[in-house]
Amino acid sequence: MPMVVVITRDVEGRYRGFLGSAMLELSAGVYAHPRMSAGVRTRIWDVLRDWHGQLRRGSIVMTWVDSSANGGLGLLALGEPPKDIVPHDAMLLVRRPLPEMKGFD
């Protein structure tokens, strides 16, 4: 049962109440549980995903230790800003588009 962390940004108050009932709120929008089972983690994510699908506001990231995943990190995300997480040499990297450079046509 690995540690689970959920980070929310710009979401409705219902998320705070729901996550606060199952996890410790370490800081505004940051929740942690030291020993959450995979079943509980999945059920929590299902609720978050359903609400986010209906409300379409903010962003949510869930992460946990997963030795079978690249970088040893399980990761789920909803909302903006979108990030492209790519595996590279047994770790995870964030790929972002390069800003447009003017005058280099």
Q: Which two tokens stand for residue 100?
A: 């447009």
**Residue 105 to residue 83: CA distance in whole angstroms:** 27
Q: At 50, is the pLDDT very low, low, confident or very high (cuts 50, 70, 90)?
A: very high
Predicted confidence (pLDDT) at residue 31 exceeds the cutoff of 70: yes
pLDDT of 105: 57
In order of 16, 28, 46, 93, 97, the CA distances from 10 in angstroms are 11, 11, 19, 24, 23
| Three-state SS at 83 | coil
CATH number of 4-95: 3.30.70.240
103, pLDDT greater than 70: no
Question: What are the E-state strand segments in 1-105?
Answer: 4-9, 24-27, 30-33, 59-65, 73-79, 84-88, 91-95
- Would you place residue 41 in the very low, low, confident or very high pLDDT band (cuts 50, 70, 90)? very high
Predicted model pTM: 0.81
Q: For residue 14, is pLDDT > 60?
A: yes
